[in-house]
Chain A
Amino acid sequence: MGFFLETLFGGLMTGMLYSLIGLGFVLIFKASGVFNFAQGAMVLVAALSMARFAVWIPQWLGFNNLILANILAFMVSAVLMFMMAWCVERLVLRHLVNQEATALLMATLGIAYFLEGLGQLAFGASVYTINVGMPKEPAFILESMFEGGVLLNLEDLTAAVIAALLVASLALFFQVTATGRALRAVADDHQAAQSVGIPLNRIWVIVWTVAGVVALVAGIIWGSKFGVQFTLATATLRALPVVILGGLTSVPGAIIGGLIIGVGEKVSEVYIGPLVGGGIEIWFAYVLALVFLLFRPQGLFGEKIIDRV
């Protein structure tokens, strides 16, 4: 039982990371109808820039303070994400308005290639570490209930708290601020939003920036756990089932989907994996999502797709 709980907690933590990446997908899809395959590349670029600037800035300015370096690096990376969002809107999205979903999908794949190349060109292609002072030592909980207690990684726990804070602040941003309302309006109906005077182009820049910052946070958490390297871009493919499971248009869907996939993956790997040779977590998430989709084709929380002739 203790072991099962450990697996479960591990899954929930991984699921949290998936949720963060999935959140980026959902934000952009809702606001611009683009399925953003470049989210993975954005995570990679953001994490690379965070890792490098945290080293470079103290060197340039000549101080030695981990917290200050991290804060500055975070700000620089966020500005970088904003610049990327602006360029994407200016150079790509603006010219592809009203194109088919597949063309837009391919365009984001092109952006992904570009960002992957650019990120590695600018920041180098070796493995870097991000040190934001996350606690590394494990902790034991529920020792009174089970023998030896349940092993819990404090780092994962911090990550989960950060992710929860991020989601909460995003929710607040969407509900309370005027920009947030405009974003929701655009997500609901492009034409109606435009007709009441909401500038679509600016909204797109904002939403890509927000997605970029979400990618940055995901990149920092992921990077401080596993190191920053090229596989980060492909690791995000693992988060794709999350968004289709939760529904492409639903923020809570991304979070709950992430948790389901994270737990399902870990539990299946531990309990079914050994029977068939291991390594099944790569496709298990997809098959799980597929099974769910057979019953609810628009995802668990997605808007119902209604076809009219």
Chain B
Amino acid sequence: MFYRENGQFKTSYRSDQQIFPVRQDRIFIFAVLLLAFVLVPLLASDYFIKALLIPFLILSLAAIGLNILVGYCGQISLGTGAFMAVGAYAAWNIGVRFPQTPLIVEILLGGFFATLVGVLFGIPSLRIRGLYLAVATLAAQFFVDWAFLRIPFFTNYSPSGNVSVPALSVFGIALQEAIPKYLFVLSFVVIFALLAKNLVRGAIGRQWMAIRDMDVAASVIGIRPMYAKLTAFAVSSFIVGVAGALWGFLHLGSWEPLAFDLNRSFQLLFMVIIGGLGSILGSFFGAAFIVLIPVALNHVPGWFGLPLAIDTAAHIEHMIFGALIVFFLIAEPHGLAKLWTIGKEKLRIWPFPH
């Protein structure tokens, strides 16, 4: 009844090619942005913002980055945690060695170094495909973990490999309280999500998708596999690197290489697959799912008044998490984004489906 395109005529190429061609979608996105930028800072508690919203936003950003590689270009990567680590450590090193660098530049440079490493480890993708590639990208993960643990230069000779960031500020505003941090992260995520959305709609995005669907056929019609695959690795690891820098600087504050280990890579891949491969919106859904589930599972025993030992609770949480993942894969292998699309289709003809 409310979600109808009737009467919305597109009279120019411009209006035909906009990101959200349906007016209701535009209103919805606007409402979400309003909610995120205005209402949440006014209403949400510090705990809610720091423990849930900021991790959710940063991981969504990382998931978008990974989704470009896995969902759009079809190259499975299990080394995402490594690229996050490169982003975080590179940004931190620049901050320590050149203290005058503005925060935004530091974070973007972190992304730049992640791009370099990402392209380097993307080169094997020109020869290796599918599951072989997935395991090969683990090389990046283990190598980077090792490098930050064992090469003291990267951690500025701190003995444990633990690094911490000094007080942050941007444009003279201190980023100590929850709300400024949240707004800073949110702006980053919104800008990058828009950029990503536009990239995958453009020529390069269509090349990635052609490579994903069948790389031999794509090269026959004149798409250069090397260019397409390496740009996907570059763009993906740039976004992931920026997310890593944000994760280290604004969420953790101080961290060690373990913060970006293999589990992080798996977690991000879960987000992408549960959210929906090849969907920017899906990355947000997936991140919300993975961030919220453990928190929710933590609280469930309390609701039923069951006193569980911490380790028992942790094991049960592990089990439920695994079972839920399998359940979602069976229920909807195309991810939450597909459910969203189905919902929209249904809504179009609601309440008279015939």
| A residues with CB within 8 A of B | 35, 91-92, 95-96, 99-103, 105-107, 109-118, 120-121, 125, 234, 237, 240-241, 243-244, 248, 276-280, 282-283, 286-287, 289-290, 293-294, 297-299, 305, 307-309
Please state if B143 and A91 are interface contacts (CB–CB under 8 Å).
Answer: no
* Alpha-carbon distance between A34 and B270 when the two chains are bound, in angstroms: 17
Q: Please judge, given known A-B contacts A280-B146, A287-B143, A305-B129, whether A103 and B326 are in contact too, CB under 8 Å.
A: no
Partner among B130, B136, B143, B323 whose Cβ is within 8 Å of the Cβ of A101: B130
Please list 24 pairs of residues, one from A and one from B, whose beta carbons are closer than 8 Å in the complex, sorted by A's number.
A35-B134, A92-B330, A96-B333, A100-B333, A102-B76, A106-B270, A106-B329, A109-B266, A110-B322, A113-B321, A115-B322, A117-B319, A120-B318, A240-B138, A282-B142, A282-B145, A282-B146, A289-B136, A290-B136, A293-B124, A293-B127, A294-B124, A297-B127, A309-B217
Please state if B132 and A293 are interface contacts (CB–CB under 8 Å).
Answer: yes
Please state if B319 and A277 are interface contacts (CB–CB under 8 Å).
Answer: no
* Alpha-carbon distance between A121 and B124 when the two chains are bound, in angstroms: 40
* Alpha-carbon distance between A284 and B175 when the two chains are bound, in angstroms: 41
Across-interface contacts of B127 in A (CB, < 8 A) = 293-294, 297
Chain A interface, DSSP helix/strand/loop, else mixed: helix
Across-interface contacts of B333 in A (CB, < 8 A) = 96, 99-100, 103
Select the stretch in B181-189, B243-251, B309-317 that faces chain A. Answer: B309-317
Q: Please judge, given known A-B contacts A117-B316, A283-B142, A287-B139, whether A102 and B132 are in contact too, CB under 8 Å.
A: no
Across-interface contacts of B330 in A (CB, < 8 A) = 92, 95-96, 107
* Alpha-carbon distance between A117 and B145 when the two chains are bound, in angstroms: 25
* Alpha-carbon distance between A34 and B316 when the two chains are bound, in angstroms: 26
Across-interface contacts of A305 in B (CB, < 8 A) = 129
Cβ of B273 under 8 Å from chain A: yes
Cβ of B70 under 8 Å from chain A: yes
Partner among A91, A102, A307 whose Cβ is within 8 Å of the Cβ of B277: A102
Cβ of B216 under 8 Å from chain A: yes
Please state if A114 and B146 are interface contacts (CB–CB under 8 Å).
Answer: no
Please state if A105 and B131 are interface contacts (CB–CB under 8 Å).
Answer: yes
| B residues with CB within 8 A of A | 70, 76, 124, 127-132, 134-136, 138-139, 142-143, 145-146, 149-151, 214-217, 220, 262, 266, 269-270, 273-274, 277, 311-312, 315-326, 329-330, 333
Given A111-B326, A244-B132, list of 20 further CB < 8 A pairs?
A: A99-B333, A100-B333, A102-B273, A105-B131, A109-B269, A110-B325, A114-B318, A116-B318, A117-B317, A120-B318, A244-B135, A277-B151, A279-B146, A280-B146, A286-B142, A293-B124, A293-B132, A293-B136, A308-B216, A309-B220
Please state if B150 and A279 are interface contacts (CB–CB under 8 Å).
Answer: yes
* Alpha-carbon distance between A275 and B77 when the two chains are bound, in angstroms: 30
Across-interface contacts of A237 in B (CB, < 8 A) = 138, 262
Q: Please judge, given known A-B contacts A106-B269, A113-B319, A283-B142, whether A241 and B326 are in contact too, CB under 8 Å.
A: no
* Alpha-carbon distance between A161 and B130 when the two chains are bound, in angstroms: 35
Q: Please judge, given known A-B contacts A113-B322, A113-B325, whether A290 and B139 are in contact too, CB under 8 Å.
A: yes
Please state if B326 and A121 are interface contacts (CB–CB under 8 Å).
Answer: no
Across-interface contacts of A113 in B (CB, < 8 A) = 318-319, 321-322, 325
Across-interface contacts of B131 in A (CB, < 8 A) = 35, 101, 105, 244, 248
* Alpha-carbon distance between A280 and B214 when the two chains are bound, in angstroms: 36
Please state if A117 and B216 are interface contacts (CB–CB under 8 Å).
Answer: no
Across-interface contacts of A293 in B (CB, < 8 A) = 124, 127-128, 132, 136
Please state if B325 and A107 are interface contacts (CB–CB under 8 Å).
Answer: yes
Across-interface contacts of A283 in B (CB, < 8 A) = 139, 142-143, 145-146
Min CB distance B164 to A, Å, is 23
Identify the closest chain A residue to B273 (Cβ).
Answer: A106
Identify the closest chain A residue to B327 (Cβ).
Answer: A110
Across-interface contacts of B270 in A (CB, < 8 A) = 106, 109
Identify the closest chain B residue to A103 (Cβ).
Answer: B333
